[in-house]
Amino acid sequence: MSTILIIFCVLSAVTLATAFLTIFSRNPIHSAIYLVICFFSIAGHYLLLNSQFLAIVHIIVYSGAIMILFLFTIMLMNLNEEKEVHRPRITRLGAIVSFCLICLILIAIFINSKPIVGEYVTTGEDYQSIKVLGKVLLNEYMVPFEFASILLLVAMIGTVLLSKKEKLQK
């Protein structure tokens, strides 16, 4: 058991556990907090995979921006109290069944497709430093990159428009 494996196991355990807790927490605020921890652990995975750039972006976007949005929304709606009525038992049972089913199927698929994956070979080439990524992003993916920015702009406008209070019509 190498150190790295231990780190991976720990991180994975944190990820899964917090994900579960996110769903099962009765209080949305707690859910949000757990989700932040989950995202941090995923960022840890990114670091483990040696992609520092993504890890940082991930923390900024998810843990920073998105989660703040979530928290604000929750607070705005004043949902910190537990008000939710649980779903009927049959629905919950169905949810669990489908969870198991989809797990099983996806895992089965990946096991099935293992021969395709093949052996892992390192060439030692640099492919994920910020420098390389930057080049790829701004050469090859220049246009999508710009589109992404337009998307964000549109999203911003849309958000403003949606959350603006409509005038009451008589």
Rounded to whole angstroms, how far apart are CA atoms 69 and 61?
11
Instruction: Quote the distance between the C-alpha of residue 163 and its chain's center.
Output: 24
Positions 31 through 50 that interact with another protein (CB under 8 A): 31-32, 35, 38-39, 42, 45-46, 48-50
**Pattern 116-145, binding to another protein, x per CB under 8 A?**
-x--x-xxxx-xx---xx--xx--xx--xx
Positions 5 through 34 that interact with another protein (CB under 8 A): 5, 8, 12, 15-16, 19-20, 22-23, 28, 31-32
Could you give the angle at the alpha carbon of 136 between the alpha carbons of 132 and 138, nearest 5°?
115
**Pattern 76-115, binding to another protein, x per CB under 8 A?**
xx-x----xxxx---xx-xxx-xx-xxx-xxxxxx-xxx-
* Runs of H (alpha helix) within the chain: 3-24, 28-48, 52-58, 67-77, 89-112, 114-117, 130-139, 142-163
Single residue of 10, 75, 142, 148 touching another protein by CB under 8 A: 148
- The CB-of-141 to another protein minimum distance in angstroms stands at 6
- The CB-of-61 to another protein minimum distance in angstroms stands at 5
Among 21, 32, 115, residue whose Cα is nearest residue 76:
32
- The CB-of-25 to another protein minimum distance in angstroms stands at 8
For 56, the token pair is 């940082």
